[in-house]
Amino acid sequence: MRLSRNRLLYGVALIVAATSSAYVLLITRSNGVGINGAIHYRTASVERRPFVAVVRASGSLQPISQVLVGSQVSGQVVEILVKPNDHVERDQVIARISSDQIGKRYQGLLAQLASARADVSLREARVELSAVQVERARSEVADREAKLRNAGLAEDIAGRQLARRRELSKTGAISVADLDSVTVQSRQAETTTASAEAQLATARIAVDAARQEHEIARRELVLATATVDIQQLKAEEAAVELEHTNIVAPVRGVILQRTVELGQTVAASFATPTLFTLAESLERMELHLVIDESAVKRVRRGQQVIFSVPAQPLRELKGTILAIRVAPQINQNVVSYTALVSVENPDGELFPGMTATARILTDEIPEALVVPNAGLRWRPPNAKPEERSTQTVYVLDRPDAPRPVPVEIGVSDGSVTTVLAGAIHAGDRVILGTGAANGGPRISLQ
């Protein structure tokens, strides 16, 4: 009985010992430490090779210019001359709006314009006639002034003769009859002068009246001329509206969409209704790429872009960065920017709206010294503070002696980073971490 109990205790002790050994071995291997206390490092070789850094982005293809073609007049659509995908030239008629009402109004305005022009001709004749009457009145004034001067002279002569005859009559040199005759002549001359003065005043009044009549006629002519101008403008506006019943393509391009049907009535009273969507020639297009804010400073005008579309996944297409829009796009607190890429489409295989995945070639170095990014991140547990705060890689010269090497780094493509300066050379093995190797290329277990 005692023997069986001892055997049981011995078996439990063996199980506990085995479990403890397995746990220690597992912990040791998971920390990169072998069972003999040695550390296993994962390393990779420093390489000197061509380097290309890319920024990956996605976006969609858009026409360079997209025009909404509308109607500036209201009416019923009586003719549609194009359909989607049709190529059109600039100023080509693509639809027509009923012109009956506008045409009638235009003809009425033309009649009113002709009437206004006839009225101007009549007013011009009246102005000319009133001008002649003014000249006649002025001539009459001049004639009356001359007659008044003659009457004045005659009155002066008659007065002097009367004075002499009166002196002679006092001496009895003339008879009373002769004196009476000269007196009568003097009074007649005075009457003639008074009459000439009255006639001159009347002639001057006639001149003022003629001038007023001429001024009235001239103002009426100005008003009639303004009426002609107004009617001319109205007729021209109606002519433009009549011309606008022909819907024309404003640019050379392709009809993308038609939003009107034959017989439909369009109303242009408050806003211009859209009838067609027209894109300029699709031989050249723009790819609008969404660039993350962390990468936007690496993207510049003139860089090459390689992209593909789902419709042709095996075909690599190329473009060139035209510009980066500075206006941010914010979606759920994620900030991005739009890069415009010029794309040639001579065969017309690319359509507006196609989505694309792209690689922007931001940095190309023919021969660069590169290290894996993991080597820049790894630090040993006993690393010094200055090694943790600077860019440092650890070169494994001997299995148990990692050597820290400060480096100055350049650009990265996401997996490797260029080295600009530092005591590191091609072929050196930098430490990526500890533990078992994953079997990846250029990684060995020391």
Quick check: 420 pLDDT over 50? yes
Task: Write the burial class of residue 94 (CB in 10 Å: 0-12 exposed, 13-18 middle, 19+ buried).
Answer: buried
DSSP state of 283: T
Q: What is the pLDDT of residue 3?
A: 40
CA–CA dist 370, 392 (Å, integer): 14
User: CATH number of the domain at 101-244, please?
Assistant: 1.10.287
pLDDT digits (tens, 9 = 90+) for 219-271: 999 999 999 999 999 999 999 999 999 999 999 989 999 999 999 988 887 77
Residues 6+ apart with CB under 8 A from 65: 251, 253, 279, 280
Alpha-carbon Rg for the chain, nearest whole angstrom, is: 55
Domain-by-domain residue ranges, the chain?
A: 1-30, 34-46+378-445, 56-64+281-365, 101-244
**Strand 253-258 vs strand 87-88: parallel, antiparallel, or unpaired?**
antiparallel
Give CA–CA dist 435/318, Å, rounded.
Answer: 43
Query: What is the C-alpha separation between 209 and 109, in angstroms, rounded?
Result: 37
Global pTM value: 0.58
**Residue 392, pLDDT score:** 86
The Cα 406–Cα 81 span in angstroms is 73
The percent of residues above 70 in pLDDT, for the chain, comes to 87
pLDDT computed for residue 368 by the predictor = 86
Confidence band of 387 (pLDDT split at 50, 70, 90): low
3-state secondary structure of 310: coil
List all residues 6 or more positions away from 444 whose beta carbon is below 8 Å from its beta carbon: 43, 429, 437
Both tokens assigned to 231: 């009617």
Helix H or strand E segment including 396: strand 392-398
Q: Could you report the per-residue pLDDT of 188-214, keeping only the tens digit for each?
A: 888 888 888 898 899 889 889 999 999
Measured distance CA(179)–CA(164) in Å, rounded: 10
Q: What is the pLDDT of residues 283-328, one digit of tens each?
A: 899 999 999 998 898 899 999 999 999 999 889 999 999 999 999 9
pLDDT at 279 over 60: yes
- Under the banding of pLDDT at 50, 70 and 90, the label for residue 345 is very high
Instruction: Give the pLDDT score at 35.
Output: 44
> Looking at residues 410-434, what average pLDDT do you find?
84
Mean pLDDT in residue range 107-118 = 94
The lowest-confidence range among 50-59, 222-231, 413-422, 428-437 is 428-437
Mean pLDDT of 381-408: 79
Q: Alpha helix (H) ranges present in 254-358? A: none
**For residues 104-135, b (16+ Cβ closer than 10 Å) or e, as one string?**
ebbeebeebbeebeebbeebeebbeebbebbe
Q: What pLDDT, on a 0 to 100 scale, did the predictor assign at position 38?
A: 59
Residue 310: per-residue pLDDT: 94
Q: What's 56-64+281-365's CATH class?
A: mainly beta
Q: Do 56-64+281-365 and 101-244 agree at the fold level?
A: no
Sequence-distant (6+) residues with CB within 8 A of 400 are: 38, 39
